[in-house]
Amino acid sequence: MRIAASPTCRLLSTGRRVPAVPARHGPRVVAPFATAVESPTARDVDPAQILRNVRPKLLIDGDFVDAASGKTFPVLDPRTEDVVAQVAEADAADVDRAVGAARRAFDSGPWRKMSGRQRGKVMARMADLLEQRAEEFARIETLDNGKPLAESRAFDVTAVVSHFRYFAGWADKISGKTLQTNGNMFAYTLHEAIGVAGQIIPWNYPLLMLAWKVAPALACGCTVVLKVAEQTPMSALLFGELALEAGLPPGVLNILPGYGPTAGAALASHPGVDKVSFTGSTEVGREVMRAAAGGIKHVSLELGGKSAAIICPDVDLESVVDDTHMALFYNHGQNCCAGSRTYVHESLYDEFVERAVERAQRATVGDPFGDAQIGPLVDSAQFEKVLGYMKAGKAQGAVLRCGGGRAGPKGYYVEPTVFSDVRDEMSIAQEEIFGPVQSIMKWSSVEEVLDRANANPYGLAAGVWTKDLDMANRLSRGLRAGTVWVNCYNYFDDAVPFGGYKMSGFGRDLSEYALNNYMEVKAVVTPLEDPAWI
């Protein structure tokens, strides 16, 4: 039985197609990277104007306050490497204040005791206020992270609005069950808020990761202490203003910009925190688990990935080349689920490589406030890491087909890079690069490609392209990954769970499954006097 391959599948949020980024899929061919790179300062963008409404402080108990130490840290514009703000730097003392506020708000405040419908109304107002200021938030995301403004508008902010509305709808539908027992007993379960949730989010989707963590926690009645990435704190701080304006009680959402070894570690180990949720690298995920272990805290982790994209011999190459390009290069490759191991059947391999190189060479690198499709990486550490993997690929014998170095004289720009003749044991095929580096490998049998795809410590996602339904089912069942996309990639919907196998973590974001991260199940059993009731 055969199935039709879908049209080119773009990153989605609510089951609707996101508008295409300008010039992404057009026929225009640009010059090689050195001349395709725009000047990082070509656009007349004033960071101070974009950040005019952001208070660069800590949000604790409904107030924006300085760090107890008085320290601040710089936030950089990745286009220019210039400092655009100084933000209060949270450490252990501030975590203690924030957890205390969240604890009081949970134990004696109104949020947990509200009806689900009341909580849902507040969350819906948060979504409405965000939607009204969507352009402001989109520009902040692009300034902070470096992603193209068209993507910030079309996906990031749109998805956050949708996500809060989705979980606002869940708030009054959380309920337990009435149970059948063997004895003359009345038994039922309650699904109760777990308590204070400590949440730590990364820098690649700052506002969206906030939504993925905060929305289900609030729907369940939890209170939150959110540690945001030091590279990208600005949109979260502005969102905190909106949450208070929407009617969220003080102490329910506390926001702490700061560093992982200080603020993050203190939050994960704090005795007043009942639940720790972390999205980030596998290496840091281990540290979070260790820190949470002392208090036997509930933990959920969404960690790294090295996702396989498997191309079968019966596909339409033109659309699949575009799909696999987007699977890797979207958001500059700074995606935990990026399809960074591209397995192509041997009958198509040579032609696929040529087309993939041509597709990568059409990707413009430059100012994300313009029409560029790939902006700068987030900071110097990530920039040097990606360049290091490019060097390792060449040193270990992979064939560099395009890219492989810095793009432009200033800013954290790198060239979209394609390697062919990649072997599974190479570091570019085994380790998470988190950058625009595509590794293309050849396969011949289904058993072989499944074994190779699964012979990796990660298991976050995978993609399969085929017109054969039996092949699609066989590969989907055989892949050890939390999400398998068939004839598409990067399809996200509020109702579809997302999370990993193996070292990609455990627990699920998105959908009804995300509520499980923030609930305790209580059983209540009462004897009945009249046995005839049964």
pLDDT at 534: 53
Query: 291 with 310, same domain?
Result: no
Domains in the chain: how many in total? 2
Catalytic residue among 38, 302, 415, 432: 302
pLDDT digits (tens, 9 = 90+) for 367-407: 999 999 999 999 999 999 999 999 999 999 999 999 999 99
Residue pair 523/178 in contact by the 8 Å Cβ criterion: no
Mean pLDDT computed over every residue of the chain: 92
Q: Model-level pTM greater than 0.85? A: yes
**Percent of the chain, pLDDT > 70?**
91
pLDDT at 532 over 90: no
Query: 400 with 457, same domain?
Result: yes
Domain that holds residue 452: 305-486
Structure token pair of residue 52 = 């005019």
Could you tell me the CATH number of the domain that includes residue 334? 3.40.309.10
Counts for the chain of helices (H) and strands (E), in that order: 17, 22
For the chain, state the CA radius of gyration: 24
Decide if 520 is catalytic: no
pLDDT at 16: 35
Residue 316 lies in a domain: yes
Query: 159 with 211, same domain?
Result: yes
Query: 287 with 410, same domain?
Result: no
Residue 37 lies in a domain: no
Return the closest-CA partner of residue 458 out of 308, 311, 289: 308
| Burial grade of 314 (CB within 10 A; 0-12, 13-18, 19 or more) | middle
DSSP readout, 168-198?
Answer: HHHTT-----EE--SSSEEEEEEEEE--EEE
373-386 core/surface letters (b: 16 or more CB in 10 A; e: else): bbbbbbbeebbeeb
Task: Among 7-11, 255-259, 501-505, 514-518, name the one with the lowest average pLDDT.
Answer: 7-11
Residue 320 — φ and ψ, nearest 5°? -70, -35
Query: 298 with 312, same domain?
Result: no
Query: 219 with 337, same domain?
Result: no
Return the closest-CA partner of residue 262 out of 444, 82, 67, 443: 67
Query: 94 with 167, same domain?
Result: yes
DSSP readout, 367-431?
Answer: -TTTT-SB---SSHHHHHHHHHHHHHHHHTT-EEEE--SB-SSSSS-B--EEEES--TTSHHHHS
Query: 233 with 365, same domain?
Result: no
Query: 226 with 288, same domain?
Result: yes
Read off the pLDDT band of 34 (50, 70, 90): very low
Residue 8 lies in a domain: no
Residue 11 lies in a domain: no
Helix/strand/coil percentages in the chain, nearest 5: 40, 20, 40
Task: Among 136-140, 287-291, 527-531, name the one with the lowest average pLDDT.
Answer: 527-531
- Name the amino acid, one letter, at 266: A
Structure token pair of residue 173 = 């539908």
Could you tell me the CATH number of the domain that includes residue 94? 3.40.605.10
pLDDT at 429 over 80: yes
Residue pair 110/249 in contact by the 8 Å Cβ criterion: yes
Query: 450 with 510, same domain?
Result: no
- Name the amino acid, one letter, at 140: I
Query: 413 with 448, same domain?
Result: yes
Q: Tell me the C-alpha distance between 327 and 438, whole Å.
A: 10
Sheet holding 58-60, edge to edge: 63-65, 58-60, 253-257, 223-228, 196-200, 275-279, 298-302, 505-506
pLDDT at 32: 31
Residue 41 lies in a domain: no
Per-residue DSSP letter, 11: P
Query: 268 with 314, same domain?
Result: no
Residue 10 lies in a domain: no
- By DSSP bridging, strand 483-486 and strand 461-465 are parallel
Sheet holding 417-420, edge to edge: 399-402, 417-420, 437-443, 341-345, 308-311, 461-465, 483-486
Residue 98 lies in a domain: yes
Residue 290 lies in a domain: yes
Residue pair 449/310 in contact by the 8 Å Cβ criterion: yes
